[in-house]
A and B are shown apart, each in its own frame.
Chain A
Amino acid sequence: MANIIDGVKYTKEHEWVKVDGDTATEGITDYAQSELSDIVMVEPPAVGKKVKAGEAVGTIEAVKAVTDLFAGVSGEVVEVNDKVVADPSIINKDPYGEGWLYKVKMDDPKEADGLLGAEQYKELIEKH
């Protein structure tokens, strides 16, 4: 069973968003990494890029599948996790920790409130 943690918000497209002040850290969920398995390439949005919630901002490639990466919140990318770009298998090992993808300075720090909570996300993946 996929691991769902408290203290973060979730998107319907299986990203997680952790808000700290006006900065949001984003990554993909344990469910997403396990469905993809063997992630071999990741392209998060570049630092300085303006992203809009719900828009495709990057790609994740596994051996057998490619998927778009959607922004959970709107704002400007301020940091990218270069370690996962160099070794994307980190995402498979620790999706909520070392496997984070990028940080956004949020236009509206309250925007994440509209995303799914842990219970709601759990319901979503149980339907799959």
Chain B
Amino acid sequence: MLKKTPFYEFHLKNKGKIVEFAGFYMPVQFQGIMPEHQTVRTSVGVFDVSHMGEIEIRGSDRWKFVNYLTTNDASKLELNQVQYSTMLYEDGGIVDDLLVYNLNERILLVVNAANTEKDYQWIVKNRKFDVEIMNVSDTIGQLAVQGPQAQAVMQKLFDWDLEEVQFYWAVETKMKDVPVLLSRTGYTGEDGFEIYVDRAHADDTWNMIFDAGSEFDIQPIGLGARDTLRFEVRYRLYGQDIDKTTNPLEAGLGWAVKLDKDEFIGKQSLMEIKEKGITRRFAGFVALEKGIPRPHYEIHADGKNVGSVTSGTFSPSLKKGIGMGYVAVPYNKVGTRLTVKGNSSFDAEVIKGPFYKKGSRR
């Protein structure tokens, strides 16, 4: 049984093309991936991300427990601070990547839609200490307002300065009369906010944001552009770029792993992996000629197969094919010439950092 987000009717009204995604009816596009992508890069767009899962951890030992569950150091979080992290299996494979919100009397874990139930079961199974675990996903609607004009739009709905909310910080407040959790976070490389509301307030929330945004020609954005936008700033996508067969060290997520903190699930395996040495690494590459990397295309170098593509797309900003995937060391080095082989064969070059570097994120 597919679920509808609380904003579903708006998607129909806006003539969104609806597809099944992670158990939900979701809009994949409205006017088209290219114009929507441009809207977010140059102005402001709104994503319905209500499919994301939200799991609440309460109780006096919540920090201890979350620190045991996740790889980043949750004990460093101040009240209302947000952290990117991963959850691992004992063997170091990734259960999920997630955001950890340290809120008043609770920690909120925001997880990938397709993983919500799996994550919840995993968390319950590994429960320790004095904590309460609740899957509150079905009670929450979530919108992401993203783009260089995002703050200008959102500022109209608050009588205090939104500058106070810095990147990866949150606030529990009221937007007009609606209680919201607002954070300066996103998945686009642009400045922007994510807004969590009780489902009951979904209509008001949508209308308020679109009224405030009308002078900026604010537009709804589908999953298609969400993918090209995240891709250009090289954010990994669970299920494609990372999964239970990949570990965060080879995935280039070592910055979200703190091996010097207390015990956490997967720590032992990661220490061993690190000691043995990493044999493949996640790399980003740009097509040097006509061609678009697609998932499962082979990656060759020096006449041998050195990896495969996990994500690939046409970059609307760069106007060329871009790809990511695991590449055998040392072919992951910046500047290495690769040959990508799929429906067509073309040369590509490993590049450093995000594909698109001019985002307004801060």
Q: A37-B33, A63-B33 are in contact. Are A68 and B314 (CB under 8 A)?
A: no
Q: CB-defined interface of B70-90 with A at 8 Å, one 1/0 digit per residue?
A: 000000000000000000000
User: Quick check: is A79 within 8 A (CB to CB) of the other chain?
Assistant: no
User: Quick check: is B344 within 8 A (CB to CB) of the other chain?
Assistant: yes
User: Quick check: is A13 within 8 A (CB to CB) of the other chain?
Assistant: no
In A13-67, which residues have CB < 8 Å from any B CB? Answer: 37-38, 40-41, 43, 59, 61-64, 66
Q: A63-B314, A66-B343 are in contact. Are A41 and B224 (CB under 8 A)?
A: no
B34 contacts which chain A residues (CB < 8 A)? 38, 63
Count of residues in B whose CB is under 8 Å from the partner chain: 17
B294 contacts which chain A residues (CB < 8 A)? 66
Are B316 and A63 within 8 A (Cβ)? yes
B343 contacts which chain A residues (CB < 8 A)? 59, 66, 68
Min CB distance B258 to A, Å, is 36
How long is the Cα–Cα vector from A59 to B290 in the complex, in angstroms?
A: 12
Q: A40-B314, A66-B343, A68-B343 are in contact. Are A61 and B292 (CB under 8 A)?
A: yes
User: Quick check: is B313 within 8 A (CB to CB) of the other chain?
Assistant: yes
Are B33 and A43 within 8 A (Cβ)? no
Q: CB-defined interface of B210-254 with A at 8 Å, one 1/0 digit per residue?
A: 000000000000001001100000000000000000000000000
Are B32 and A41 within 8 A (Cβ)? no
How long is the Cα–Cα vector from A38 to B314 in the complex, in angstroms?
A: 10
Are B33 and A61 within 8 A (Cβ)? no
Closest to A42 in B: B290
Q: Given B290, B313, B344, which contacts A64 in the complex, CB threshold below 8 Å?
A: B313
Are A41 and B292 within 8 A (Cβ)? yes
A66 contacts which chain B residues (CB < 8 A)? 292, 294, 342-343
A62 contacts which chain B residues (CB < 8 A)? 314
Q: CB-defined interface of A71-88 with B at 8 Å, one 1/0 digit per residue?
A: 000000000000000000
How long is the Cα–Cα vector from A41 to B343 in the complex, in angstroms?
A: 13
User: Quick check: is B39 within 8 A (CB to CB) of the other chain?
Assistant: no
Q: Given A37, A59, A61, A68, which contacts B32 in the complex, CB threshold below 8 Å?
A: A37
B339 contacts which chain A residues (CB < 8 A)? none
User: Quick check: is B29 within 8 A (CB to CB) of the other chain?
Assistant: yes
Are B290 and A63 within 8 A (Cβ)? no
Min CB distance A49 to B, Å, is 15
Min CB distance B351 to A, Å, is 20
Are B344 and A40 within 8 A (Cβ)? no
How long is the Cα–Cα vector from A63 to B29 in the complex, in angstroms?
A: 12
Closest to B315 in A: A63
Min CB distance B280 to A, Å, is 25
Closest to B293 in A: A66
Min CB distance A69 to B, Å, is 11
B292 contacts which chain A residues (CB < 8 A)? 40-41, 61, 66
Min CB distance B140 to A, Å, is 28
Q: Given B291, B313, B342, B344, which contacts A63 in the complex, CB threshold below 8 Å?
A: B313
Min CB distance A125 to B, Å, is 15
Are B29 and A41 within 8 A (Cβ)? no
Closest to A62 in B: B314
Are A37 and B29 within 8 A (Cβ)? yes
How long is the Cα–Cα vector from A31 to B356 in the complex, in angstroms?
A: 32
Closest to B297 in A: A66
B314 contacts which chain A residues (CB < 8 A)? 38, 40-41, 61-63
In B328-355, which residues have CB < 8 Å from any A CB? Answer: 342-344
Min CB distance B20 to A, Å, is 14
B32 contacts which chain A residues (CB < 8 A)? 37-38
Min CB distance B134 to A, Å, is 35
How long is the Cα–Cα vector from A63 to B294 in the complex, in angstroms?
A: 10
Q: A61-B292, A63-B313, A63-B314 are in contact. Are A38 and B33 (CB under 8 A)?
A: yes
Residue from A59, A61, A62 whose CB has the most chain B CB atoms within 10 Å: A61
A37 contacts which chain B residues (CB < 8 A)? 29, 32-33, 224
Closest to B287 in A: A41
Min CB distance B340 to A, Å, is 12
A-B pairs with lowest CB-CB distance, top 5: A40-B314, A63-B314, A63-B33, A38-B33, A61-B292
B interface residues (Cβ-Cβ under 8 A, vs A): 29, 32-34, 224, 227-228, 290-292, 294, 313-314, 316, 342-344
Given contact pairs A63-B316, A66-B343, enumerate 11 new A-B contacts (beta carbons under 8 Å).
A38-B32, A38-B34, A41-B291, A41-B292, A59-B343, A59-B344, A63-B314, A64-B228, A66-B292, A66-B294, A68-B343
Instruction: Show 6 A/B contacts (Cβ-Cβ < 8 Å), sorted by A.
Output: A37-B224, A38-B32, A40-B314, A41-B290, A61-B314, A63-B313
